[in-house]
Amino acid sequence: MKAKVYVSLKPGILDPQGKAIQHSVELLGFGGIADIRQGKYFEIALDDADEQQARESVARIAREVLSNPIIEDYRVEIEG
Amino acid sequence: MKFGIIVFPGSNCDHDAYHVISKQVGQPVDFIWHRDTNLSSYDAVIIPGGFSYGDYLRAGALARFSPVMESVKKFAASGRFVLGICNGFQILCEAGLLPGALIRNRDLHFICEHIYVRVETSDTPYTNELQTGSVRRIPIAHAEGNYVCDDETLEALRRDDRIVFRYCDADGNVTAAANPNGSRENIAGICNDTRNVLGLMPHPERACEDLLGSSDGRDIFRSLAATLALAA
């Protein structure tokens, strides 16, 4: 079983790296880019066969390690 | 009184802090490896600057899970003194011992330069020998020093006089231009609600001798030593 965790900055938290990336994208010639926000992506391989159990474990990992709830949100996807 | 300096893999200001406590403050001090958990012989611990765990994931995020940190939480809860400098401040925020978070500097740069901070309160064990409103010239050296917190936290920090240092200009004016990293309300250092835990981004341990360009940081360590001497 594989879990995917996406961590993104909460709305309103400054993302200067995202701004710098957006600037580079614009230099490449792309107009009409309203905003770019940088996030983090994790793949977690699990031995756990029970999906509900896996979901709970990964949610806790995401909440307590992978993200800082003061500045970041997370989203978990489980693949069988 | 006895001081301990906690050393994580990647700490790099541990020896500076050790030097200041042993030579400038003149008190006994030990290094404490992050796997050690016995803090019973210490009155104050310093979490020094550096790049614990290479700043992997987020600055301070992995150090929070080192075995010593559970002991540091109990140490702080017992009323003893915890000083986090730079990466130490980041670790204390990640560990929940101080509120808020430190994110990437507004302008992305790693900033290494002397800046000015204004002492916002002398009512802490770390600033009782400094004057409220006085200006100190102390270096910063960080890429993630932009202090963020929600409105409720900011209100509590203000109400309880827990904002200890603010970035300012040479005359003590707290202005946007004097804010090096985008920190909310120019915050450079805060304490917890019981005032025994302090975190700050500037490096007072690098400003304790005139030979180093400033000795403005020395009184922070001397304040703490004076507090400990009174308590003894």
Instruction: Give the tens place of pLDDT for each residue, B175-225.
Output: 999 999 999 999 999 999 999 999 999 999 999 999 999 999 999 999 999
Number of folded domains in chain B? 1
- B7 has which bridge partners? B33
Q: What is the DSSP string of B113-178?
A: EEEEEEE--S-STTTTTS-TT-EEEEEEEES--EEE--HHHHHHHHHTT-EEEEEE-TTS---GGG
| CATH number of residue B185's parent domain | 3.40.50.880
**B142 chain-A contacts, CB cut-off 8 A:** none
Q: How many other CB atoms sit within 10 Å of the CB of residue B10?
A: 16
Reported confidence tier of residue A49, pLDDT bands at 50, 70, 90: confident
Whether the CB-CB separation of B111 and B180 falls below 8 Å is answered with yes
Q: Hey, what CATH topology would domain A2-79 get?
A: Mth169; Chain: A , (3.30.1280)
Of B93, B108, B150, the CB nearest to A17: B108
Q: Judge whether B203 counts as a catalytic residue.
A: yes
Q: In chain B, what residues touch A13 (CB-CB under 8 Å)? A: 103, 148
Task: List pLDDT tens digits, range B115-161.
Answer: 999 999 999 999 999 999 999 999 999 999 999 999 999 999 999 99
Condensed to tens digits (0 to 9), the pLDDT of residues B45-103 reads 999 999 999 999 999 999 999 999 999 999 999 999 999 999 999 999 999 999 999 99
Chain B contact set for A16 (CB, 8 A):
104-108
Are the C-beta atoms of B1 and B42 separated by less than 8 Å?
Answer: no
Burial of B194 (0-12, 13-18, 19+ CB in 10 A): exposed
A68 and B146 in contact by Cβ < 8 A?
A: no
| B104·A17 Cβ contact <8 A | yes
pTM here is 0.96
Beta-carbon contacts below 8 Å between A and B: 34
- DSSP character for A77? E
Q: Name the residue range of residue B162's domain.
A: 3-231
